[in-house]
Amino acid sequence: MRKESRVILALDEVNGERAMWVAGQVADLVDAIKINWPLVLSTSSETITRLSELAPVICDFKVADIPNTVSLIVSHAVARGAEGVIVHGFTGSDSVRAAVQAAHDRQIFVVTEMSHPGGAEFTAPASESLARMAVECGAAGIIAPATRPERVAALRRVVGDLLILSPGVGVQGGSASVALRKGADYVIVGRSIYGAEDPRRAASEIVREAREAGGV
């Protein structure tokens, strides 16, 4: 995955036509497009392939299952054109290893601490163990919360040079520049871009903020 703007679009737009329009508006500005169940279920898995023609696609399926099922989901996402897949880590190292193996040369990202308030209940206390396991299992990176930037810094100390993708910017209250300065490689931004009247302008503003935060 390229590392230029350090911004990943979370395309949770459920109108398929508008989703493709938004993707076309910002594909050259963002480093990747992350899609989740809402868009895949409201359109079809063919959307993965169509989007992958515009930008690298990360399938945020938060896969949480036994190794065999994990492996089936990851290999089908990759066959559709996914460059990366997001999985949960609480399922254990055998499931995460199955994801890494099924992804071959594509990337697996493991959820650590989630960005919403409920993420503090169960995921926060386990986040450093989950991050350590992601490293041991050969994942490409982790997901860490821009809403709690000090946790991004703490998780960076655990994962070394693994990639950190950080959601929670904008509507959830997190700041792109702070998350990047605390150690995130990329910020994940959804509604603040795809929900804007002018998604290209909204994306450009966040890209400018990311650039000002330094790095790369």
CA distances from 176 to 27, 58, 213 (A): 19, 19, 8
| Least distance between ligand BMP and beta carbon 212 (Å) | 20
Residue 107 sits in the site that holds ligand BMP (CB under 6 A): no
Q: Which is nearer to ligand BMP, 12 or 137 (CB)?
A: 12
Kindly write down the DSSP assignment for every residue of 142-161, as one continuous string. Answer: EE--TTSHHHHHHHHHHHTT
CA distances from 191 to 12, 74, 207 (A): 8, 26, 15
Residue 171 sits in the site that holds ligand BMP (CB under 6 A): yes
Q: Which is nearer to ligand BMP, 58 or 213 (CB)?
A: 58
**Catalytic residue list contains 34:** no
* Region near ligand BMP per CB under 6 A, out of 71-79, 127-135, 150-158, 186-194: 186-194
- Residue count of the chain: 216
Q: How far is CA 61 from the centre of its chain?
A: 10
Q: Which is nearer to ligand BMP, 26 or 68 (CB)?
A: 26
Looking at 7, 158, 179, 188, which residue binds ligand BMP (CB under 6 A)?
188
| Least distance between ligand BMP and beta carbon 37 (Å) | 9
Residue 90: name the closest of 59, 119, 54, 56 by CA: 119
Rounded Cα gap, residues 5 and 139, in angstroms: 22
Rounded Cα gap, residues 151 and 41, in angstroms: 32
In the region spanning residues 32 to 51, those forming contacts with ligand BMP, defined by CB under 6 A, are: 36
Q: Which residues are catalytic?
A: 62
Query: Would you tell me which residues interact with ligand BMP (CB under 6 A)?
Result: 10, 12, 36, 60, 111, 114-115, 119, 143, 145, 167-168, 170-172, 188-192
